[in-house]
Amino acid sequence: MPPVSEPESWPDRVATWQEAIDRKWKGALEAGFLRLTECLTWAYVATVLIVWMVLYWAGDRWWAASLLLFGPRWFGLLPLLVLLPLAAVMRPRLLRPIVVAALLFVFGVTGFQMPRPWQRLSAVEPPVVSLLTCNVHGGQMGWERFQQLLYQAAPDIVALQELSGDVDLPFPEDWHVAREGPLVLASPHPIQNVRTWYRLEPPAKWPPLLGLCAEVHVPGRPVTVCNVHLTSPQQGITEALDRYTLVNVGRTEKLKRLNQLRRQESAGLTAWIRDQAQVDIVLGDFNLPVESRIYRESWGDLRNAFSEVGCGLGYTRWVSLHNFRYGARIDHILTSDAWRPVRCRIERDIGSDHIPLVADVCPAE
């Protein structure tokens, strides 16, 4: 006769029920975290793709894309602080799309540049011309650090923008200087055939000077150089921002007008430059990130020194907004196909609101 099992006591039954409930809730919680991880992962991937496409297809054409162009892009890396550990614990196979999206964001959205070792192996044809450009913010920052940089970098050609009329130039006495309004070209080598370009549209009592071109006779061959300073969208961006709602759509008209003006002046300046004799180098404060549609339409056929041989983010303008500090790469050194960038770097802060940009270029093979 089989043994008769004793009925469970109430404490045992309660423990069994509690164990079943715990298993059920644990499974539901785990499944919920898995779904959350998948949703967050693919939402992040989709967001990165959308941001990347907006930057390249609508930058400076759509006012919202302009805010993105000149805004703090590093915010897009913050979700990785949650996504990477969450995916590693809950669903490791999701690490692949997360890493791919992160790489796209770093290189495609922030514009991070990696060194290219094979370019250093290319033969360097003389003459090597050293270039320096900087927006000096009126020249009120004091010139001691700039003169130290001038001594250490030993550039062949210096381009300065936004220089006030009452500021004395900090160059050695034996240097040659071409100065027109806020733009300066300076060199230890002779400067000849100086030309200027003013923006005439829309009509103004004092048309702004946007371009200064000259021939610099460096040892070996003359080099035609253009120093440019294009209009900034900063006033329109500032007006469109709102402390409480972040963006005020009703105050974006000025930004739209500025974008149209910037498109027209870039097109006009590049047309004037192409009408000159062979222009070898264009450098200065473009107020255009390389992702901008205006930049790619007007300046994209030139070689960008930092894009080719630079390393890092290349930010030349830093902004502090409500204790957040972020940068933009809006100063450039561009060359024609007749010249090849060899080295390019961001220099140390000299007290201006822009960081000096230095590059060495040589004749293309």
Local confidence pLDDT in tens for the 365 residues of the chain? 555 555 555 565 545 555 555 555 556 666 777 888 889 999 999 999 999 999 988 888 899 889 888 888 888 889 999 999 888 888 889 899 999 999 999 999 988 998 776 665 566 767 889 999 999 987 777 788 888 999 999 999 999 999 887 777 888 889 999 999 899 999 999 999 999 998 877 766 567 889 999 999 998 889 999 999 999 998 898 888 877 778 888 888 999 999 999 999 999 999 999 887 788 999 999 999 999 999 999 999 999 999 999 999 999 998 876 677 788 999 999 999 999 999 999 998 888 889 999 999 998 87
Sequence letter at residue 73: R
pLDDT at 268: 92
pTM over 0.95: no
**One domain for residues 58 and 172:** no
Distance set, CA 349 to CA 88, 135, 233 (Å): 40, 12, 23
Distance CA 126, CA 333 (A): 19
In a domain, residue 3? The reply is no
Boundary residue ending a domain (109, 136, 168):
109
Identify the domain boundary among 62, 82, 109.
Answer: 109
Do 31 and 140 reside in the same domain of the chain?
no
**How many residues in the chain?**
365
Cα gap 194→179, rounded to integer Å: 9
Composition of the chain by helix, strand, coil, percent to 5: 40, 25, 30
Looking at the domain assignment, is residue 238 inside a domain?
A: yes
- DSSP notation for 12-60: HHHHHHHHHHHHHHHHHHHHHHHHHHHHHHHHHHHHHHHHHHHHHHHBT
Q: Is residue 219 part of a domain?
A: yes
Q: How many domains are contained in the chain?
A: 2
Cα distances from 52 to residues 77, 112, 259, 289, 295, in angstroms, run 13, 13, 20, 14, 16
Q: Does the residue 5 lie in any domain?
A: no
Q: Does residue 139 sit in the same domain as residue 71?
A: no
Residues 142, 96 within the same domain:
no
Is residue 44 situated within a structural domain?
yes
Task: Examine the domain organization and report whether 148 and 253 are in the same domain.
Answer: yes
Enter the tokens of residue 167: 């500021």
Strand partners, 270: none
In the DSSP assignment, the letter for residue 92 is: G
Final residue of a domain: which of 47, 76, 109? 109
Per-residue confidence (pLDDT) for residue 13, from 0 to 100: 53
Residues 6+ apart with CB under 8 A from 80: 98, 102
Same domain, 214 and 231: yes
Judge whether 81 lies within some domain.
Answer: yes
Whether residues 188 and 78 share a domain: the answer is: no
The pLDDT of residue 199 is 84
pLDDT (0 to 100) of residue 104:
93
Shared-domain flag, residues 133 and 69: no
Residue 4, in any domain of the structure: no
Is 215 found in the same domain as 287? yes
Residue 214 CA to residue 192 CA, distance in Å, equals 6
Q: Are 205 and 354 in the same domain?
A: yes
Give Dmax over CA atoms of the chain in angstroms: 119
Per-residue tokens: 295: 């930049």
State the residue range of the domain holding 160.
117-363
Closest listed residue to residue 49, CA positions, set 100, 114, 95, 112: 100
Residue 36, in any domain of the structure = yes
Pair (148, 238) in one structural domain: yes
Please check whether residues 241 and 188 belong to one and the same domain.
yes
CATH number reported for the structural domain that contains residue 257 in this entry = 3.60.10.10
User: Which residue type does 109 have?
Assistant: V
